[in-house]
Amino acid sequence: MKNQFISHLGGLYRRQRNSSYLQLKQFFKFFLCLITAFSITLYFTTAVIPATKPYTTSWIGNTYGGGKKWVQNYVEGMYVGSDGTVYTNSTWDEAAREAGIYKDGDVIGPDFQLHGQSRVGGKAITINDKYIYLAMVQGSMGKTSEDYPPEKTAWYCVRRYTLSGKPAGFAGGRGYDKSMVIVSTKSPVTGLAIVGKELYVGIAEANRISVYNTDTMTEVRNFSVASPKQMTVDKQGNLWIIQSKNGSTPAQILHYSSKGKRLPEVIADVADPSAIALDNQGRLLVAENGPRQQILIYKITGKPAKVGTFGVEGGVYAGVPGEVANVKFYGISGVGTDATGNIYVNSNGFNNSGTDLRKFSPSGKLQWRLLGLHFVDNADTDPQSDGVEVYTKHEYFQMDYKKPSGKQWSYKAYTLNPFKYPQDPRLHTSPTSVFFRRIQGKPFMYLIDMYDSFMQIYRFNPTTDGKIAIPSAMFFGTAVKDGKPVNSWPPNQPQQEKDWIWRDSNGNGAFDQGEYDIRDKDYPYGGGSWVDSKGDLWRTLRTQEGIRHYPLQGLDKKGNPIYSYSSMKKDKTPSPITDLRRIEYFPNTDTMYVSGFTKEHPPIGDDSGVVGSEIIRYDNWNKGNRTPRWRTVIPYDTTGKREVMTEAMSVAGDYVFAVTGRTSEVYVYKAATGEQVQKFKPGPEVAGESGWIDIPYGIRAFRRSNGEYLVFVEEDWKGKVIMYQLPR
């Protein structure tokens, strides 16, 4: 526009240059007037479109922003070397850090070449003075000639690496680089330990420990142990092995000689032992992952005796339930010590919530902490807090926007309590996106999954439950095959193929009989869900009568929101839309935003999961208006390659935000006109990178009272939530 304006002025000047002085004077007067008008126009255009100002990129939930440094998704196995180097293993990390190496509060782990080609990590890891030994799984690739498993077969292996993280092959080694020993084709490795030149490999489902030479990786013997899990070695070279609960036999810790002889010592007073290590004094450290959430310390010379504990009894559920503190643990998956007695503890939460790795001095003072809390997750803010209080599916953060990028967030609470609420849906399903709402001034959290197949609702009661989110209600349905429900959870669900709404009528957070509202199955293909500011629920179905509206019927005596099928309203899909995907309704202005595919811009194939090809705004929706105020075409797939498509949208204040799936670019449109005014993507603060957007509400926007916009975007690649900040 600016170049066209200057070109136009040049043309005017050329036409005037042979005229009289008066004419020339009049021209320059006209020129100055145009310049002044152009400057005023630029000023007001900039003032009313804050998105044109530079934005900043920040993030939540990971100690590091990306590039070469990030904390892996979750740690399921951990070993601490004598020098304080921490070696970790997890089943999956999106950016390929299933195996990690950490030291002095920093990420030093290289690329282990573990991820990809149907390879994933596992739940055990150990080292000696030459190698790292890692439990992992190698799946089939259809390349048996390159030493991959046959189709529909998996190898459960131990893979050997150098201490710097490079594959260390051996004669007879399996896999593409000959660094694997196949331990089983049926069951995963559950424990690893080294005694001298021998590697002990536990397989719980096989009730067996196999012993391998650490140099040749050939099996030298094996012996039977019922359900062996993690193990460690005492100063006498004997094994202490966690035996997981097996039928009526409770979990306990058994003592074996290195030759496989059962020794008489047993530790049987740990409710749920999840990790084990020896400290520099020869004492046994046992992670109690039951209600105590502590590290229990045992003297093991002679008859084992508990001589101390580390951490607050009750963990994160002591004091104010859910409130995070230095020595409050939750879901312990790793424990270890170094040669000087420093203690290392990893909390993984429950149902793999995320990595929380901490180092403590021998006296118990926190030395450093590394966090990697998010995977397939997004954030939303409590609207009453003006953006200061932020929630993800498990975590609660407080924000300080005066701090630099990546430093604004403080991890304050873990909102899941598996001991008080063992039927919390987050323990049994995989929710992703958060809607946080205030209803009658009270806080509620709504969660949906990657496929928008359910809606979970949580209430809060600080007096009884501190920071814990209490299961309150749920929309779902019973899937039936061969006349029987496909899933045994939740209990007491209808035994026929029905849709249902559960509400926690008695307030105990459990799915009890008589708490289900049931109806026949609806159209099965959903597009999106929404919770408006009044607490009404909206759901889109990909059909011509595709809008379901569940008006809030109030709160019951226990504080649960009431929804029912009898009060549900159906509405037709607006005519421009042929395949309805997303919906966002704002009752204060009676404004409706929907998205989907249209006749003019159809999908290539089914193209499920995406927003569609257009976003459309309707005013006076509740008054019956179905004439669009505007329609705007958004990025969508026109080639069948699915390289450019919009995965999620969010409306806040004066803007509609939409994010593309694979390129992770955020498009900003004027809410008043649908005109695109900005496009931005991850900045240098996060190394300019992001993973794909995988969830239907992978973007969530909020306008603060000072006019600043916060835009939260899912970022699985390096285990965080990206947060864009757009100034007023």
552 and 684 within one domain: yes
What is the spatial distance between Cα 658 and Cα 668, in angstroms, rounded to a whole number?
A: 7
CB 214 within 8 A of CB 197: yes
pLDDT tens for 575-593 read 999 999 999 999 999 999 9
Domain boundary among 48, 63, 84: 48
> How many domains are contained in the chain?
4
Structure tokens at 106: 């920093």
Phi/psi at 174 (nearest 5 deg)? -110, 170
591 and 474 within one domain: yes
Q: Is residue 206 part of a domain?
A: no
CB atoms within 10 A of CB 98: 25
Q: Is the pLDDT of residue 39 over 60?
A: no
Per-residue DSSP letter, 383: G
Quick one: average pLDDT of 185-205?
97
Q: Is residue 58 part of a domain?
A: no
Q: Is residue 600 part of a domain?
A: yes
Q: Is residue 69 part of a domain?
A: no
What is the spatial distance between Cα 301 and Cα 387, in angstroms, rounded to a whole number?
A: 55
118 and 22 within one domain: no
Domain coverage including residue 140: 74-201+213-220
Q: Specify the pLDDT at position 89.
A: 97
Cα angle vertex 512, ends 529, 486, to 5°?
65
Q: Is residue 41 classed as helix, strand or coil in its secondary structure?
A: helix
What is the spatial distance between Cα 610 and Cα 55, in angstroms, rounded to a whole number?
A: 26
CB 721 within 8 A of CB 376: no
Phi/psi at 640 (nearest 5 deg)? 85, 0
- Percent of the chain scoring above 70 in pLDDT: 93
Q: Which of 503, 481, 625 is nearest to 554 (CA)?
A: 503
Structure tokens at 635: 């990025």
DSSP 98-160: SEEEEETTEE-----S-SBTTEE--S-EEE-SSEEEEEEEE---S-GGGT-PPTT--EEEEEE
246 — pLDDT class (breaks 50, 70, 90)? confident
Q: Is residue 325 classed as helix, strand or coil in its secondary structure?
A: coil
Domain boundary among 321, 342, 370: 370
Tell me the CATH number at 235.
Answer: 2.120.10.30
249 — pLDDT class (breaks 50, 70, 90)? confident
133 and 273 within one domain: no
Dihedral of the CA atoms 478, 482, 488, 493 (nearest 10)? 40
Q: Is the pLDDT of residue 264 over 80?
A: yes
Per-residue DSSP letter, 394: S
CB atoms within 10 A of CB 29: 10
What is the spatial distance between Cα 31 and Cα 38, in angstroms, rounded to a whole number?
A: 10
Q: Is residue 658 part of a domain?
A: yes
382 and 346 within one domain: no
386 and 366 within one domain: no
Residues in a beta bridge with 182:
157
Q: Is residue 670 part of a domain?
A: yes
Amino acid at 40: I
Q: Is residue 60 part of a domain?
A: no
What is the spatial distance between Cα 574 and Cα 570, in angstroms, rounded to a whole number?
A: 12
357 and 384 within one domain: no
Q: Is the pLDDT of residue 14 over 70?
A: no
Q: Which of 564, 322, 501, 329 is nearest to 421 (CA)?
A: 322
H-state helical runs in 257-324: none
- Letter string b/e over residues 464-502, b meaning 16 or more CB atoms within 10 A of that residue's CB: ebbbbbbbbbbbbbbeeeeeeeeeeebeebeeeeebbbb
pLDDT tens for 587-626 read 999 999 999 999 999 999 999 999 999 999 999 999 999 9
Query: Please, what is the end-to-end C-alpha distance for the chain in angstroms?
Result: 24
506 and 411 within one domain: yes
444 and 474 within one domain: yes
416 and 319 within one domain: no
Tell me the CATH number at 627.
Answer: 2.130.10
Q: Specify the pLDDT at position 222.
A: 97
656 and 549 within one domain: yes
pLDDT tens for 425-465 read 999 999 999 999 999 999 999 999 999 999 999 999 999 99
Structure tokens at 659: 């994010």
Q: Is residue 561 part of a domain?
A: yes
What is the spatial distance between Cα 376 and Cα 175, in angstroms, rounded to a whole number?
A: 30
Residues in a beta bridge with 341:
none
Q: Is the pLDDT of residue 540 over 80?
A: yes
CB 24 within 8 A of CB 16: yes
413 and 330 within one domain: no
What is the spatial distance between Cα 597 and Cα 604, in angstroms, rounded to a whole number?
A: 10
Q: Is the pLDDT of residue 6 over 50?
A: no
CB atoms within 10 A of CB 1: 7
Beta strands in 461-599 (DSSP E): 469-477, 480-481, 484-485, 498-503, 516-520, 526-531, 537-541, 547-550, 569-571, 577-586, 591-598
Cα angle vertex 642, ends 638, 643, to 5°?
95
CB 135 within 8 A of CB 164: no
Question: What percentage of the chain's residues is helix, strand, coil (to nearest 5)?
Answer: 10, 40, 50
pLDDT tens for 95-138 read 999 999 999 999 997 778 888 889 999 999 999 999 999 999 99
**For 198-210, what is the HEC assignment?**
EEEEEEHHHCEEE
Domain boundary among 310, 344, 370: 370
Q: Is the pLDDT of residue 12 over 90?
A: no
